Structure 1
Amino acid sequence: MVSIISRSAWGARPPRSRSTTTWSRRVEVTVHYSQGPTTQTPRQIQDYHMDSNGWADIGYNFLVDNQGNAYEGRGWLVIGAHAAPRNTEGIGVCFIGRDGDATSAAKRTIRALYDDANHRAGRTLAQKGHRDINPTSCPGDDLYAWVKSGMPVDGEPPPDTPPWPGVYLRYPPITRHSSVTTWQSRMRYRGWRITVDGAYGPKSKNVCVQFQREKRLLVDGIVGPQTWRATWEAPITP
């Protein structure tokens, strides 16, 4: 779980109104940037949204600064005002800063919020940048490329290499491993029905076999270099 700085801790104003949704209607996490300096505070962003935009509250569900601190905006199930017409479907997470400002710490926290959302929803949500929904430059080229690459964090294998040196994902599994979770999440994101549990069991192998047939790869049920790379090929339409 992510440690989140509460609204009261950052001095949030009370909302003028609020509408809620359910986890069954949440299907995606949408990443934004504030397009302002990293010194912005959530309260400054809230003041702008409420006083200049006339919104009921700060628009985002969560915000993240470049130290990796997470701030509660509207929260998990309050409908935001960040990416119409998909505010009910999407959880908006805003990085406080401009294009290129996002640190590894900030990305780790955004990813942690995404993982937490998946846990709460009980399924894998789509990963989106604001520009996937509206004609905008948000969340900047750097964060957008990171989102479309699957939100990788430190310690995860890059998409153009085998899962880890000398060992491929196969059944029977050697052990639970973050590489398995990464592959399962990616396959789930591509639309395959697969459980994301970090264990490469018979169901994961079956998905791998079907995927290899679809991509006309060697059908062996093993996620080796070719299958791993194919998992990350664009385009991906959740």
Structure 2
Amino acid sequence: MKCLQVVTYLAVLFSEVFTVSPDWPRICPDIVNKNRWGGRIAVAVDYAIIPIKYVIIHHTVTPECDSQTSCANIMKSIQNFHMDTMDFHDVGYNFVVGGDGKIYEGSGWHKVGAHTRGYNSRSIGLGFIGDFSSKRPLNLQIRAAKDFLECAIQLGELDKNYVLFGARQVSATASPGSQLFKEIQNWTHFVQVP
């Protein structure tokens, strides 16, 4: 009984300190943390000041995935490449959207990623698993990404007036692929000139 009283007390305290949207449970997609996908521990961590002002969209230029198992295998491959070949401290993207509609933790919340030189300390790098040069991501991925961004605002990680753009707008890259870039131009917060 005492455990139930403590939980009730904490719930009331939480509700008095934080304002949570009535849509809260629906807005936040399933975020698969490193333990769940079998990720390695970061070699080092640099912290970003929150709330973050920018979101930069990327694609991973890897095969696509449609289950937590296949997405986890791709995440391990990305992490190994980033850490072992590129000498990054961790996955370069902060988070990655899988073809199963789940969000996969990369370097994570309020941490400096290694995805876009000049913007890493002040942005969330959001990658999409797959190559979206000639095809659009699944609706499931797009919905998960939009829900994730709303969730990030709710958590105080992302500024409510954030600016969103594709990596190609600030870096010599084709990322996030022509079709994904075309898609994000219709999203709220997208800007033509970062």
Quick check: 1:38–1:101 contact (8 Å CA) kept in 2?
A: no
Quick check: 1:67–1:103 contact (8 Å CA) kept in 2?
A: no
CA distance in 2, matches of 1:11, 1:103: 24
> Which one has the largest radius of gyration?
1
CA positional deviation for 1:101: 5.3
Deviations 1:89-136 (A, max 9, x none): 110111110112510001111111222223323522111111111011
Question: Is structure 2 residue 115 aligned with structure 1 residue 82?
Answer: yes
- Aligned ranges 1:1-238 → 2 under 5 Å: 1-24=28-51, 26-39=52-65, 41-99=74-132, 100=135, 102-119=137-154, 120=156, 121-150=158-187, 186=188, 189=189, 236-237=192-193
CA distance in 2, matches of 1:67, 1:14: 24
CA distance in 1, matches of 2:78, 2:159: 31
TM-score, structure 1 as length reference: 0.61
CA distance in 2, matches of 1:7, 1:113: 17
Quick check: 1:15–1:57 contact (8 Å CA) kept in 2?
A: yes
Partner amino acid, structure 1, of 2:141: A
Q: Which runs of 5+ in 1 are unaligned?
A: 151-185, 191-234
Quick check: 2:55–2:124 contact (8 Å CA) kept in 1?
A: yes
Partner of 1:219: none
Partner amino acid, structure 2, of 1:41: I
Q: Which runs of 5+ in 2 are unaligned?
A: 1-27, 66-72
Aligned pair in 2 of structure 1 residues 129, 236: CA closer, same or farther (>3 Å)? closer
CA positional deviation for 1:27: 0.8
CA distance in 1, matches of 2:101, 2:130: 12
Q: Which moved more, 1:126-135 or 1:34-43?
A: 34-43
Structure 1 residue runs of 4+, over 4 Å off? none
Quick check: 1:63–1:71 contact (8 Å CA) kept in 2?
A: yes
Give the number of the structure whose residues are more often strand, by fraction: 2
Instruction: Give percent identity, aligned residues only.
Output: 27
CA distance in 1, matches of 2:100, 2:36: 17
Q: Which of the pair has the greater relative contact order for Cα pairs under 8 Å at 6+ separation? A: 2
Aligned pair in 2 of structure 1 residues 45, 101: CA closer, same or farther (>3 Å)? farther
RMSD: 1.8
Quick check: 1:67–1:106 contact (8 Å CA) kept in 2?
A: yes
CA distance in 1, matches of 2:185, 2:136: 18
